[in-house]
Structure 1
Amino acid sequence: MALETLESPSETTKSEAATVVRTVRRRVRRRHLLVLVAIGALWLGLFAARVLLGDFTVTIPDFFRILFGADIPVATFEVMESKLPRAVMATLAGLAFGASGAVFQSMLRNPLASPDVIGVTMGSSAAAVVAMTVFGMDGLPLALVAILGGLAVACAVLFLSGSKGAATYRMILVGIGLAAALQSVIQWVFTTTDVYKAQDAMVWLTGSLNSVTWSEILRVTVTVAILLPVVAAMSPRLQMLELGDDAAQGLGVRATQTRALLMGAVVLMIAITTSVVGPISFVALLAGPIARRLNGGRPSIPIAALVGACIVVAADYVGAYLFGASNLPVGVVTGIAGAPFLLWLLIASRRTIKDG
């Protein structure tokens, strides 16, 4: 009897602790689901506005009639050749860039980390610019060259960072250095190539959805549909990497291999998307911190992907209609919005370091 009396408080404490853990987990899942639904609803509203509103308004019944094959003069052309392709491509590009930014920021444990900062996007861009201006490539060959350029930079960053420094500021510094060198290559190409080719490449470099085709949309759709679920499925391992390589190893996660697999999948997704729409700036940098704050400080690749989609769709609408007759490329709008956000992140990071 005495033993039972001594053991019962311990059992009660364990039961209470288990109940608290289950309650917290339910709250976390509930918040994650609510945020996901809310961001999904916001994206749907922005998508509808991009397709239906603007300088030529289309009613919802007419949109569905056009979608199912009806030929309505002017409206059919506006929807199928301009509004809908841009909205779909903006969504796909936002999903790809938003998810990739969240992966890099979690993997490197730094809110300033993104494919833009690490130099992966610049690797794809430099390779694509050389292919466009020097060799006259486009379509699938251009996409393959962009993939090779992004993968080459990613491998160089991993190799030059060292096995113990891959998750520290060293990786970011190496990426910044490589990005600066590649930017110089692009500038050199612009000064030596034909002025018309350089102009086309410059428009592409700003990030634009103006001339996307359904074949390009199909290519990016297949890429995102395959790689985004793969990256999302590896999210639990990614959260363990945030604890540090030693802790991740102790939990049974091979840090180096996991980081290489994640980077390979993300770089492939970024490179194929960049080969179509160009390097749309700051989307990858913006989406991750916004998603983390909405999710109560926890990383979420699906939420970051949807946030990225919202950013690009909204930026495309703003660039197309809110600056008068000037049709600004989507990359210009995201750059204008992203620069103040980057400064805020830098100030916040500095404050955190001082407080620590």
Structure 2
Amino acid sequence: MRLSLLAAAGGFYLAAAGLFLTLGARGDWGFILAFRGEKLLALTVVAAAVAVSTIVFQTITGNRILTPAIMGFDALYVLIQSVLVLTFGGAGFAALQGAPLFALETLIMIGVATLLFGLMLRRSADLHRLVLTGIVLGILLRSLNALVARLIDPSEYSYVIANSYARFSSIDSDLLWITTGVTMAVAGLILAMARRLDVIALGRDSAMVLGVEHRRAAQGLMVLVTLLVAVSTALVGPIVFFGLLVSAIAHQLAGTWRHATLLPLAALIAAGLLVLCQALFERVLQLQSTVTVVIEGVGGLVFILLLFRRARA
């Protein structure tokens, strides 16, 4: 059952990738495959990072309606853009594009998250308090961003708007390879901890009885989740509800909490779905809309449905 399910998800991804690479292609195939292949890699890496981080985050918190975005990562990312535009101006912000901006955004997000996790989990393993603190922090960051936005010259605020949504039209090749390496390393480490995640999914008390030090394991996994979210967000921008959508689909199809199945299944579904949607929007709809807007909208509806289902239960 597990192998057939993963094979089907892999087939879905390969079909979506083939469609993305070949649909509407004309001219020099060498140039086309190289250009589209780089974008395909970016879509795949970001989708896998979002899927894996969401599954792990839900396991740690014991709640399937939460995503790492609930901790305010998207709000922090947008606030960073606003502060940089306010400080350096539009031209200075444009000059920071590339490795300097990528490194700065990643370090700030990891630093804030590590500080938050360290303070909240040092004395207590109350993950519910941690999530609540993250929600309040997200509200605070959005309020600060609204304040900073009022101080920015309106003609330069377009730089903030352009970087406030996930974008796949222009990907920096150097940053892509860095993100790919980090994502593969972290995802591989998490997959190697699949059995420990299975135990953590049983709850804090059960995990401790079975020999897993819950607090230390939660801290380490939160750092890995933060790293995945930080590098993917710094590369293309924030994606809020996509992870929730993919997680819901993966759990429905797998019917199990075994992470050796859930993690690769969610990654393949996420990559196939994002690549397929991007292919349709680029080749069929001629970029009349943004794929992330639709995916986030569907993800938001899934979030509401999960809330209603949980309330009825």
Q: Same fold (TM over 0.5)?
A: yes
Q: Is the 8 A contact 2:165 2:239 kept in 1?
A: yes
1:196 and 1:275, CA in 2 relative to 1: closer, same or farther beyond 3 A? farther
How far 1:255 sits from its partner (Å)? Answer: 0.9
Match among 244, 259, 279 for residue 218 of structure 2 = 259
**Matched residue, 1:343:** 304
Larger radius of gyration: 1
Q: What does the per-residue CA deviation read over 1:272-295, in whole Å, with 9 as the maximum and x for residues that have no partner?
A: 111110012312212222212211
TM-score by length of 1: 0.78
Give the corresponding residue for 1:153.
113
Shift of residue 97 of structure 1? 0.3
Considering only aligned residues, what root-mean-square deviation do their CA atoms show, in Å? 2.3
Q: 1:337 to 1:201 in 2, by over 3 A?
A: same
CA–CA distance in structure 2, aligned partners of residues 211 and 106 of structure 1: 34
Shift in Å, 1:260: 1.1
C-alpha contact (below 8 Å) 2:74/2:239 kept by paired residues: no
Q: Which amino acid aligns with 1:36?
A: L
Q: 1:330 aligns with which of 291, 305, 309?
A: 291
> How has the CA–CA distance of structure 1 residues 336 and 264 changed in structure 2, closer, same or farther, with 3 Å as cutoff?
same
Say if 2:65 is the partner of 1:112: yes
- Equivalent residue number for residue 26 of structure 1: none
TM-superposition CA deviations, 1:168-221 (whole Å, max 9, x none)? 3x3332221111111222223332223354213212211110111322221111
Contact 2:121-2:219 within 8 A present in 1 as well:
no
**1:171 is aligned to 2:130:** yes
C-alpha contact (below 8 Å) 2:86/2:151 kept by paired residues: no
CA distance in 2 between partners of 1:162 and 1:351 (Å) = 35
User: Which residue of structure 1 lines up, in the alignment, with residue 276 of structure 2?
Assistant: 314
Shift of 1:348: 1.1
SS in 1 for 2:127: coil
Tell me if structure 2 keeps the 8 A contact 1:315–1:333: no
1:48 matched residue in structure 2: 18
Cα shift readout 1:131-184 (whole Å, capped 9, x = no counterpart):
45534232222222222332213532553477545333x333222111111122
1:86 corresponds in structure 2 to 39
Measure, in 1, the Cα distance between the counterparts of 2:238 and 2:293. 11
Residue 33 (structure 1) shift:
1.9
How far apart in 2 are the matches of 1:318 and 1:163? Answer: 49
**Gapped runs of 5+ residues in structure 1?**
1-30, 59-71
The unaligned stretches of length 5 or more in structure 2 are none
Counterpart for residue 3 of structure 2: 33
> Relative to structure 1, is the Cα distance of residues 213 and 147 closer, same or farther in structure 2, using a 3 angstrom cutoff?
closer
| 2:25 is the alignment partner of 1:57 | yes
Question: Against the structure 1 CA distance between its residues 101 and 218, is the aligned structure 2 distance closer, same or farther, given a 3 Å change threshold?
Answer: same
Which deviations, in whole Å up to 9, do the C-alpha atoms of 1:49-94 show, x marking residues without a partner? 11111xx325xxxxxxxxxxxxx54x5444433x322221111100
- Counterpart amino acid of 1:257? R
Q: TM-score, normalised by structure 2?
A: 0.88
Q: Is the 8 A contact 2:79 2:141 kept in 1?
A: yes
- Give the Cα–Cα distance (whole angstroms) in 2 for the partners of residues 158 and 314 of structure 1: 39
